[in-house]
Structure 1
């Protein structure tokens, strides 16, 4: 029997009290502190945005400070209090919390609540990460673009309240898990970066042509080169209930296109220059932030006018090989662009050179690069999948530790 099991068997064998957060503490809203007020020294301060981007489940030190005179006008969190970011554009991040376990009070910004309570601060911080808390809070989130939750709503959320000795042991276990996860993540990220570097070197080697390789251009190995169009935005009948995928350059990012964010109607394709292109084209973004990036489409679709769509001649070249070549040449192709965003045009894309070995050799090169690419980048294979699996394992044990039978009254 583990230590936590022994404690539960000795201290709460029949279950534990389940209480609303409002019964074990009080919520106070932060005030006044804005990001521009933060300094590198002075009185400790936590801005709600930093809870989303910087802090973990608990902290002893603050990243930022405010002038001591300003701190006198601000809401303070005392050591042991929970600080909660109550707004976000993402529901999952609403009510992200960190326990303040420093030795002195800290100032807290608006769009944050301070929860003063009677529990182990790290126990309640871990509870705010749990599936139980996430499920309960979802019914209280309000707002459209900016999503938020109030202190009154959080006060209704139910938390199991085991004896403090059990809370301390749960915290010890979860702190250990958290440290192990952080160490593993750093190790795997380092390994992943090594794989990326290895892949880059391997890619360069595979795509370096031999001296007798025939050279051509992207235009010459294509049966058709086209761009698309943007159907009039003032025509709702071009977009409402649309079923035809319409690709924009911001979706072109060295990837395979299997769907698009916007669909257009058959009428839009008839009355504009946004025409369907077949699957397995090589699509190059010509201007905008993604200029010179490349994608391939696994579905027939239409594109906007900033896409240069290369329908590769299958008797001459493998579209996957062409995709990898253009991807590898991103910096060189982008360098041909003009203006602050390195804008290209169809003429420059069509005239861009490409080595053309035998089809068999192209297919071998493409297959090798596809395999290595998946190993490095795909969450369903290789190191990212291992990291994701470990996170899921941690979340499972965290939820299990924070689940208790309710004590019958």
Structure 2
């Protein structure tokens, strides 16, 4: 599509392997942290608050994500969940556990995260995933992922459309399961169309 440039992820981002703190390091109050296991259970396309914390000492030895970084779990029990990610949009820096990659880039953070939730990305990550009981995508191999990249302005427009679909899917509550399912399918269709440009 005119105006969309295919780029490799490593042309627009630095990929940093996550840290090494564990669940036993969690404290009641402290510095915010994200554990890779929370990618599958708690975090969606973006987040600005964590649900867990570590003390200053653990934080100081951790790998850190900053506002706008993508935090991605690079191990999972299955191919579907590997590379689950969130765009960190919080004001504070956050400590990131092992089995993750921090993707530091110069694009629209939500656009990047939506792309990493799309079928265009899924097809590429399937080729990179390895393992049997534990599925892994080596962070260094993520650099070869190809993204069709529109301008920052167009990224913002696409994010605005996808955000509206996302809130429609997630704000409709009980009593409308068929409507929710239809909206989700519609959202997935448009997300993949907006991010694939074939």
Instruction: Please indicate, yes or no, whether the TM-score normalized by the shorter chain is above 0.5.
Output: yes
Partner of 1:183: 171
* Equivalences for residues 294-309 of structure 1 within 5 A: none
Partner of 2:121: 133
**Normalized against structure 1, the TM-score is what?**
0.47
Q: How far, CA to CA, are the matches of 2:143 and 2:111 in structure 1?
A: 17
Q: How far, CA to CA, are the matches of 2:6 and 2:29 in structure 1?
A: 41
2:188 aligned to 395, 404, 407, which one? 395
SS in 1 for 2:144: coil
Q: How far, CA to CA, are the matches of 2:114 and 2:149 in structure 1?
A: 13
Deviations 1:236-257 (A, max 9, x none): xxxxxxxxxxxxxxxxxxxxxx
Deviations 1:121-172 (A, max 9, x none): 1100000010100001101100111101011221111011111011111111
* Equivalences for residues 13-162 of structure 1 within 5 A: 14-162=2-150
Greater Rg, structure 1 or structure 2?
1
**Given that residues 15 and 404 in structure 1 are in contact (C-alpha distance below 8 angstroms), is that contact kept between their aligned partners in structure 2?**
no
Aligned-residue offset at 1:387: 3.0
Q: How far, CA to CA, are the matches of 1:175 and 1:118 in structure 2?
A: 20
Say whether 1:168 aligns with 2:156. yes
Relative contact order, CA 8 A, sep 6+: which one is greater? 2
Unaligned runs of 5+ in 2: none
Q: How far, CA to CA, are the matches of 2:36 and 2:159 in structure 1?
A: 24
SS in 2 for 1:93: coil
Aligned-residue offset at 1:39: 2.2
SS in 2 for 1:83: strand
**Normalized against structure 2, the TM-score is what?**
0.95
**Given that residues 39 and 66 in structure 1 are in contact (C-alpha distance below 8 angstroms), is that contact kept between their aligned partners in structure 2?**
yes
Say whether 1:404 aligns with 2:194. no
Taking only aligned residues, the RMSD between alpha carbons, in angstroms, comes to 1.4
**Given that residues 3 and 151 in structure 2 are in contact (C-alpha distance below 8 angstroms), is that contact kept between their aligned partners in structure 1?**
no
